[in-house]
Amino acid sequence: MKRIERGFEHLLFSSRWLIAPVYLGLVIAMLILLVKFGKQVWSLSANVLSAPGTEIIIGVLSLVDIALVMNLLIIIILSGYENFVSKMDDLKDHDDRPEWMGHIGFSDLKIKLIGSIVAISGIELLKAFMNVDALSDRHLAWMLGLHITFVVSGLLFAMMDKLTYRAH
């Protein structure tokens, strides 16, 4: 019976590798975002002399938005892989290894995730307000409501984290 239990536990533990292709899919998503980023830079460059200032600012905010999403994906891919699949021991002494690698736990990952979502939502809200004439009041209200929800959620996550940390 103990042998069956041990085999089952090894099967469960090995199942963590099922998420590895998901991280590879996120890398592919980053490539797609890189193409979108390049398209946006090309569009901004081509219209820099003829586009109004607000359009340039909205374009730049879109670039910042893509950069934030890509940064978030890097954090999710690397910390998720290290937390849930396997340690990257071969990269431990690599000069370019980020300091946070190997130190971000699931709780830290949640806080970084919600922080990034708040930042992305804030940029989208700013873009909307810069183009306020094209949107209905209802649409703006929904965007503002969602942003406030993200901010409050982030604060609640941080408070729960602090309470949990204090309890330990």
Looking at the structure of the chain, the number of domains it has is: 1
How does pLDDT run across 28-68, given as a tens digit for each residue?
A: 999 999 999 999 999 999 988 888 887 888 888 889 989 98
The answer to whether residue 2 sits within a structural domain is no
Which residue would you say has higher pLDDT here, 154 or 106? 154
Run of H or E residues at 49 = none
Work out the pLDDT band at 17, boundaries 50, 70, 90. Answer: very high
Mean pLDDT of 12-24: 93
What is the 8-class DSSP label of residue 98? Answer: -
How does pLDDT run across 71-101, given as a tens digit for each residue?
A: 889 988 988 888 888 888 777 777 777 776 7
| Cα–Cα distance measured from residue 130 to residue 58, given in angstroms and rounded to the nearest whole number | 7
Q: Which two tokens stand for residue 164?
A: 């949990």
In the chain, beta strands by DSSP E: none
The answer to whether residue 112 sits within a structural domain is yes
The answer to whether residue 6 sits within a structural domain is no
| Cα–Cα distance measured from residue 89 to residue 100, given in angstroms and rounded to the nearest whole number | 14
The answer to whether residue 7 sits within a structural domain is no
Q: Which residue, chain included where needed, has tokens 């069956």?
A: 4
Domain of residue 116: give its range: 22-167
Report if pTM > 0.85. no
Q: Which residue, chain included where needed, has tokens 């004439």?
A: 133
